[in-house]
Structure 1
């Protein structure tokens, strides 16, 4: 196939339908995210996790152990890197351990400092000094019907809390569930990470593959693209994980199949006049410690490892090389929501600059999207960064949530915040003579309880009024969600979010032309590919 012919045919189609707006679109992006599809987020569809045995002890679950005889908590001195004692009356960070799940009953216990509890055999004293866990850091946790547990070495010896406040592997025989030195009360402090790692490692490979194959086939289908097209949506933002590069044999515990699903999305987009933004949502090691970045235990290890950064750039290279000449590609987002607390700005800008150059190897016009850091960070830091010169976009995520500032706001307060704070920031960024601005995530939901349908309509209208001014456009989070106000489809069908005022007869006509030309582009692509 002659690459130059494909490029020029794509360029022709984009030029005809651009109508003076973004390359390849009849206007700005009016998008919807396909969250919870190719990157698992348990809160979007909790039922995915319903069948996992010991499902409250997944990777990343935070636990504390209290000796029933000493009435003291197990503690990693200094948060890890030293001895382990059983001498604390009140638990805090030193007494909190994150689970690494090995099997239904076997676990490794990670301290807040990153070290693992370790015991090298019978008579040994437990310490917290190992960085890379192995069999000596793996324990069986046996539970009774309440919150009592026994902790046992793989060799069979049970740990006990001694009178000298040590944790040792020398309890004689098998303990019962009474008040003895080998019995502890386990408190689950947090169990809020439900991502790809937790699902796959919780079920095991075969069952996880069955669950995810069904989910990927049914959660998002061609019918959804038809629905979006009919309601004036012109773009889908598709979160993917870094392991897509190695499909069909991704590293454990990740499950294959995301690449085929992404190919399907591009085909459906072409057939129904939509464009695709590929979003690297989950980077190796996790860029923010959250479930949607496939973190194993809530740690943010991505910025600490050059290997992780290189693997992320490899993922960008793979995605750009595979989809650059596909007429449905609008852009590639290099990394979703890096943490301001953990990812240094200079490191992030360097990564974004390298990612930009990688995309440009394969496409002179695909939009390269760089996401703001979440937390305490000003988006102007990326607007002013020297990342690239052509078709560069800065992605902002606007939620009237997740911050105590929004906790007690009324409906009117929330709307005024949109019209004042959000609008002023957007106007300032639009005038900065830098990259285009994209509201890549927003939702018609807030912290206010008992809002009426009219309240939600007014809030949605305010957001659309303001976010329409973003120079690149916006994308709603997300298409489908068990929480109805986060569910774009539910909002539209039930008239809680009204898009009618942004869709005119002219835009409908232009959408039809866009659909027609994308179909032509697809045919051209298929002919030359064949």
Structure 2
């Protein structure tokens, strides 16, 4: 593939064939990685494309550097990985190889470079897996994972511990798993069957299912687990919206008859301002219509996620109030932009700010409100187990006020603070059986009351 380089500061650079950087000469050949080329168009838009990379000589250990910050030439004399030594790459879909006929490269050649992926946000989604291992091996790995990571025992555990619903994230390619394995476009045979199996287990253990479209075509926020290949947000044009509506329609049609279907979430965490509010409303209207045309039931909801980084958390309140059985999804983390250093600050913020935010979203005759993601991970250093339990308690108390309840992210994780299963088993989150029936909202309210009573009783016993 051809990879067009630009400096991290978004200024085009020239690359000399011998690596000296003297002018815009023929492409610099990089074995096993493609060809680095001078852009023939204006500077690339750094917000739209390009994984960050650094390129280091195998022999002299120096990095390619954009002289003067970019705009002129590249020199192989950088001693550190700084902005001037960081580039973005853009794939043009073609294949190009530069080399001498009959010749070969060796590690003694100073023109042989190592390319390092240098992304601040780790890209480790299905796209990256498939690009590395190839389609056939990726499908085998995914199928092994699907068959072992979440099993029927997990659904039994969820039900027996007083929880009454599962929110299952899926990618847009779930509805296109026929035919041979493929990376581009993604096609992983067996994917749809995994969700079918989850519905069957949920039915067996009297659990409700929320199907969450977590990754849309082009990616709605640029994160790897939202279907991005390189951090790009490319969702929102007419084509990607139409494709997404088709996915929602197919999911609604397939699971409409399952009594455990509680809701379909049209899109997870679209990113502002890249995804505009007008674009999102247009899609939500089309997606809602697609669900309601396929699901002729009054007990199934349509969930519309708030945008990440929005300046107005209430921006969907009036819009969603025009739809029946509609839910606004908000995600509350005391992380990232809200990283409080003390236990008290974290707990006080949930008690005051989060509670106030929820109240501002819940209106008479308006959409229900769902805290679709929260966790017990935080930025407090040296916190003990009692602190962690208190943090979980206050979140359950406050988020229990939400009219559609909450969902913990996630059920199972290697990090205990992100794993509800571990939190329950270690006594950091207390749950209790509640009556199970189709009145989901009443059950969601009851679980919080029962949980709070139970936790204090347990503390007295111990």
TM-score by length of 1: 0.67
2:54 is equivalent to residue 64 of structure 1: yes
Q: Distance in 2 between matches of 1:336 and 1:377?
A: 18
Structure 1 residues 370 and 386, CA gap change in structure 2 (3 angstroms): closer
In structure 2, do the counterparts of structure 1 residues 498 and 464 end up closer, same or farther at CA, with 3 Å as the change threshold?
same
SS in 2 for 1:465: helix
1-structure distance, mates of 2:248, 2:438:
31
Equivalent runs, 1:89-488 vs 2, <5 Å: 96-97=86-87, 110=89, 115-116=90-91, 132-136=92-96, 153=97, 155-157=98-100, 174=104, 176-178=106-108, 180=110, 182-184=111-113, 186-190=115-119, 192-249=122-179, 251-252=182-183, 253-303=186-236, 305-364=237-296, 365=298, 366-385=300-319, 388-403=322-337, 405-406=338-339, 408-431=340-363, 433-488=365-420
Q: Secondary structure at the match of 2:436?
A: helix
Q: 2-side partners of 1:70 and 1:328: how far apart?
A: 59
Q: CA deviation at 1:258?
A: 1.5
Query: How far apart in 1 are the matches of 2:418 and 2:314?
Result: 28
In 2, distance between residues paired with 1:310 and 1:77?
44
Q: Do the aligned partners of 2:321 and 2:366 also contact (CA within 8 Å) in 1?
A: no
Q: Judge conservation of contact 1:228–1:234 (CA < 8 Å) in 2.
A: yes
Give distance in 2, aligned partners of 1:454 and 1:387: 40
Q: Secondary structure at the match of 1:396?
A: strand
- TM-superposition CA deviations, 1:383-415 (whole Å, max 9, x none): 122574200000000111111x41x42111110
Residue 492 of structure 1 corresponds to: 424
Using the alignment, how far apart are the partners of 1:60 and 1:226 within structure 2?
44
Long gaps (5+) in structure 1: 1-53, 99-109, 117-131, 137-152, 159-171, 516-530
Q: Which has the higher contact order (CA 8 A, sep 6+)?
A: 1
RMSD between aligned residues: 3.0
Q: Which residue of 2 aligns with 1:125?
A: none
Give the Cα separation in 1 of the matches to 2:290 and 2:439. 28
| Local SS of the residue matching 1:281 | strand
Q: Deviation of residue 71 (structure 1)? A: 5.5
For the residue of structure 2 that corresponds to 1:381, the secondary structure is coil
**Cα distance, 1:94 vs. partner?**
7.2
Deviation at 1:442, TM superposition (A): 0.5
Measured in 1, the distance between the counterparts of 2:390 and 2:257 equals: 41
Tell me how far 1:221 sits from its aligned partner: 1.1
Residues 239 and 280, structure 1, Cα contact 8 Å, conserved in 2:
yes
> What is the alpha-carbon distance in structure 1 between the residues aligned to residue 275 and residue 394 of structure 2?
33
TM-score (norm 2): 0.76
> Helix, strand or coil for the counterpart of 1:439?
strand
Aligned length: 385
1:73 aligns with 2:16: no
CA deviation after TM superposition for structure 1 residue 450, in Å: 2.6
CA distance in 2, matches of 1:260, 1:187: 37
Task: Give the whole-Å Cα distance in 2 for the aligned partners of 1:325 and 1:492.
Answer: 32
Unaligned regions of 5+ residues in structure 2, if any?
1-31, 33-48, 441-462
Per-residue CA shift, 1:359-388, capped at 9, x if unaligned?
110224220000111123422111122574
Give the C-alpha shift of residue 188 in structure 1.
3.8
Alignment partner, residue 44 of structure 2 = none
Q: SS at 1:474's partner residue?
A: coil
Measure, in 1, the Cα distance between the counterparts of 2:417 and 2:132: 29
Paired residues of 2:209 and 2:261 also in contact (CA < 8 A): yes
CA contact 1:353–1:387 (8 Å) conserved in 2: no
Q: Does the 8 A contact of 2:320 with 2:326 survive in 1?
A: no
Shift of residue 448, structure 1, vs aligned partner: 1.0
Shift of residue 434, structure 1, vs aligned partner: 2.1
Aligned to 1:288, what secondary structure does the other structure show?
Answer: coil
* Inter-CA distance 179–432: structure 2 relative to 1 (3 Å threshold): farther
Partner residue of 1:511 out of 432, 436, 458: 436
Supply the distance in 1 between the matched residues of 2:66 and 2:115 (Cα, whole angstroms): 13
**Other structure's SS at 2:315 match:** helix
Alpha carbons of structure 1 residues 228 and 70: separation in structure 2 relative to 1, 3 Å: closer
SS of 1:353 mapped into structure 2: helix
Q: Secondary structure at the match of 1:390?
A: coil
Distance 1:348 1:244 in 2: 22
Distance 1:418 1:70, change over 3 A: closer
Structure with the higher strand share, 1 or 2: 1
Give 1:91 deviation, angstroms: 6.2
